[in-house]
Amino acid sequence: MSHVLDPEYYERACGAEGRRSVEAAMAEIARMGERLSARKVDALVVVADDHLNAFSFNCVPAICVSTGRTVQRMIQDHAEAFDKVLDHMPQTYALHEHLANAILDQGLATGFDLALSWEAPVDHAFLSPVNTLHGSRPIPPLVPIWVNCFVAPQPTARRCFAFGQHLARVVAGSPWNVGLIATGGLSHFPELSLPRVGETDTVFDRKLIHWMEHGEHEPLLELGGDELHKTGSHEFLNWLVLLGAVTPSRATVRYFGELPRINLAAVEWSLP
Ligand SMILES: [Fe+2]
């Protein structure tokens, strides 16, 4: 699902149509959250990217797992408008430390030497979706996972997908009932690509949606870093982790909306 979920922000960026569109997406995400809560999950894995605010250029992990007992909401002195929506959200979130450690430990045995963090705080990419999903209901223990979507060289689409398969194996071998979300996008150009802010590539996003709806994941594995960068769908790497975990399930598209600033999406997979 998209992770900038702030009607005020979209109204400023795209006018009344922006507000209408994000409110429609958020309503669908809230309904997805009701279905998620009905499944009574023990943990919720959240795959999102660092916006160069949790980490910095002194270390850019390809994939990093948050572990420990709790994680803190990010507090920024000069927050982007869409991080200001975090201000009214809870400050501390429980983590599912045992699941996080299983992902890390079993990763070592299967070729994933993952970074780990006890300290990195979580921003809108994690907390806007999590809070929109749950509303006033309790939030299950989280396992936040960051994927490097911004700083070249990023992990490949195939690597992200394989990591999702690793997550699925860990969960399948565990005693826990686990939900998984991936956030970001779709096509947009953040301030890091200043000349293209305000553009989207809807033709490309519709291709992604088509492949996900049909459970055709092979073409998605061929996506190159350049292509994701050129189309503004760099955050789709997070989605590829989820696809690896649920493959070959087909997606149900709950919302897809084109805006000049960003294409919004809410997509659901239900496993038997
Ligand atoms: Fe983002």
Consecutive 10-residue runs of the chain (272 residues): their mean pLDDT? 94 93 97 97 98 92 98 87 85 98 97 98 97 97 97 96 98 98 90 78 92 95 91 94 97 94 93 77
Query: How far away, in angstroms, is 4 Cα from ligand 1 center?
Result: 7
Q: How far is it, in rounded angstroms, from Cα 228 to Cα 212?
A: 16
Distance 160 CA to ligand 1 centre (A): 17
Ligand 1 centre to CA of 50 (Å) is 8
| pLDDT computed for residue 7 by the predictor | 94
Question: For residue 173, how far is its CA from the centre of ligand 1 (angstroms)?
Answer: 31
Closest CA to 40 of 177, 245, 136: 177
37 Cα to the center of ligand 1, angstroms: 25
- Which tokens go with 23? 């409110």
Question: What pLDDT is stored for residue 191 in this prediction?
Answer: 73
Residues 23 and 138: their CA atoms lie apart, in Å, by: 22
The CA dihedral of 35, 38, 43, 44, to the nearest 10 degrees, is 10
CA dist 205 → 202, 210, 236, 256, 258 (Å): 5, 9, 10, 9, 9
Q: What pLDDT was estimated at residue 91?
A: 95
**Residue 80, amino acid:** E
The Å distance, Cα 247 to ligand 1 centre, comes to 24
If you measure from the C-alpha of residue 232 to the centroid of ligand 1, how many angstroms do you get, rounded to a whole number?
11
CA 229/CA 48 separation, integer angstroms: 16
Question: Residue 238 in contact with residue 182, Cβ under 8 Å?
Answer: yes
pTM over 0.85: yes
DSSP H helical ranges for 39-139: 81-84, 97-109, 124-134
Gap from CA of 106 to ligand 1 centroid (Å): 29
Report the pLDDT value the prediction gives residue 10, as an integer from 0 to 100. Answer: 92
Q: Structure tokens of 6? A: 């702030």
From the CA of 2, how far away is ligand 1's center (Å)?
A: 8
